[in-house]
Amino acid sequence: MIPAAASPNAAPGALSGRAVTIIGGGIGGLTAALALAQRGARVSVLERAGMRREVGAGIQISPNAGRVLDALGLTEAFHAASHPSHGVELRDHHGALVLHLDFARWRPDAPFRTIHRARLVELLETAARAHGVNIHLNRSVESLPQAPLLIGADGLHSLVRRALNGAETPFFTGQSAWRAIIPDDDPQPLTRVFMGNGRHLVSYPLGFGQRNLVAVLERDDWTGERWSQTDDPANLRREFAGFGGPVPGWLDRVAETGLWGLFRHQVAARWQDGRMAILGDAAHPTLPFLAQGACMAIEDAWTLAACLDADPDQGRALSRYQQLRQPRCTRIVAAATANARNYHLSGPKRLAAHTALRLANRLAPSTAFERFAWVYDHDPTA
């Protein structure tokens, strides 16, 4: 393999001049490529996909990951490509407010933002290439290359995870998610969650005249776990027909939609073996109910590069990386799983939970936000 040119801005450190091969050029792989190249490594990325497609719709980036993008020098590009998010409103399926998590009030200096996945991938790819990273598209890795340092950023069905941990069987959560982007001019910087019986719908603006929709439904007839399946928007409209507020208007505008089965995976037990390491979904796929999958991948990437740069002993550096990241990711994945249950309550349980949340919203409005402060206040670059 042709090694990439060293970054013109390389800082001296243990990574200086070292060759790193990354499998997977998604959000985690590209962030790692950039972080490693900025520290002087010669990085090659092998990515299965060819021409980038507008896949995967929108994602929310909370300040914990935003701090990494800032440290990588991407503040301006990220702001230009994304949209602000001032908070989350939880509403019942009729549209009545249950809880408002007011990010802008509780953390005015820690911006939350939303972005189309394709725009984030593009800006990471542009920055990585500018730092000399060699990105090989259309390169599907079938067997692991003999590289001195190999990073598996190869997502949900990671080859590198399997090499480190053996084959594992995820289990279907009984939930599937439609994702869609609709044209929309309402720039109100809010994420809105509408909670119904066995289903919920999340929506936020992405800027550029776009709005993201994710609609989750409990069902028991799903077997696959792919991100590429499409569905007839009529099925989405039918399942959410009883929802009120702006939801019917949004659903009317859905022209095409993707459908995913949501599976639960264990966080990998083994993240590295001294030569290979995994990050992002390869190490800890999560349910989307805390919007932290991409954020964790970005955090991992920074910490991995920092550990490798700080210690020339690769085995020790990779072991330190796992030690720093595994407990936090395990906690986030568990919190996302718990959120799934809370969104889909029905009958008396829902009434009791929503009444308690409405009361808390009035009497102690910061409480709900502070429950998740450990996620958002974390600074991986500190």
Ligand X SMILES: Cc1cc2nc3c(=O)[nH]c(=O)nc-3n(C[C@H](O)[C@H](O)[C@H](O)COP(=O)(O)OP(=O)(O)OC[C@H]3O[C@@H](n4cnc5c(N)ncnc54)[C@H](O)[C@@H]3O)c2cc1C
Q: Which stretch binds ligand X (CB under 6 A): 18-26, 98-106, 124-132, 313-321?
A: 18-26
Q: Would you say 23 or 335 has its CB closer to ligand X?
A: 23
Shortest distance (Å) from residue 239 CB to ligand X: 15
Question: Please, are residues 381 and 302 in contact by the beta-carbon 8 Å criterion?
Answer: yes
The single residue among 43, 81, 124, 291 that binds ligand X, judged by CB under 6 A, is 291
What is the smallest separation between the CB atom of 285 and ligand X, expressed in angstroms? 7
Element (H, E) at 321: helix 314-343
Binds ligand X (CB under 6 A): choice among 14, 15, 20, 27: 27
Q: What is the x/- site pattern for ligand X, positions 146-165, by CB under 6 A? A: -------xxxx--x------
Q: Which is nearer to ligand X, 224 or 315 (CB)?
A: 224
Number of H helices, E strands in the chain: 13, 16
Which element (helix H / strand E) includes 84? strand 82-85
User: What angle (nearest 5°) sits at the alpha carbon of residue 294, between those of residues 174 and 322?
Assistant: 100
The residue from 297, 305, 317, 329 that contacts ligand X (CB under 6 A) is 297
Interacting stretch for ligand X, rule CB under 6 A, among 10-18, 287-295, 303-311, 321-329?
287-295
Residues 206-245 that bind ligand X (CB under 6 A): 214
Q: Is 294 near ligand X (CB under 6 A)?
A: yes
**Which of 33, 37, 41, 59: binder of ligand X (CB under 6 A)?**
59
Q: Distances in Å between the alpha carbon of 340 and those of 4, 176, 264, 369? A: 43, 12, 11, 17
| H/E element, 175 | strand 171-183
Q: Are the beta carbons of 293 and 282 closer than 8 angstroms? A: no
Considering only 112, 260, 343, 376, the residue that binds ligand X (CB under 6 A) is 260
Q: Are strands 230-231 and 112-116 parallel, antiparallel or unpaired?
A: unpaired
| Rounded Cα–Cα distance for residues 323 and 272 (Å) | 11
Site membership for ligand X, residue 47 (CB under 6 A): yes
Binding residues for ligand X, rule CB under 6 A, total 34
- Min. distance of Cβ 120 from ligand X in angstroms? 9
Token readout for 128 is: 């990585």
Q: Is 140 in the site for ligand X (CB under 6 A)?
A: yes
Cβ–Cβ under 8 Å, residues 63 and 151: no
Site string for ligand X, 177-206 (x = CB under 6 A): x-x---------------------------
Name the β-bridge partners of 213.
Answer: 180, 203
* CA 341, chain centre distance (Å): 20
Among residues 141, 150, 215, 247, the one that binds ligand X under rule CB under 6 A: 141
Rounded CA gap, 196 and 178, in Å?
Answer: 15
Q: How far is the CB of 121 from ligand X (least distance, A)?
A: 8
- What's the sign of the alpha-carbon dihedral 151, 375, 11, 313? negative
**Per-residue DSSP letter, 18:** -
DSSP 138: S
User: Minimal distance in Å, beta carbon 205 to ligand X?
Assistant: 13
Residue ranges binding ligand X (CB under 6 A):
23-29, 46-49, 59-60, 140-141, 153-156, 159, 177, 179, 214, 260, 280-282, 288, 291-295, 297
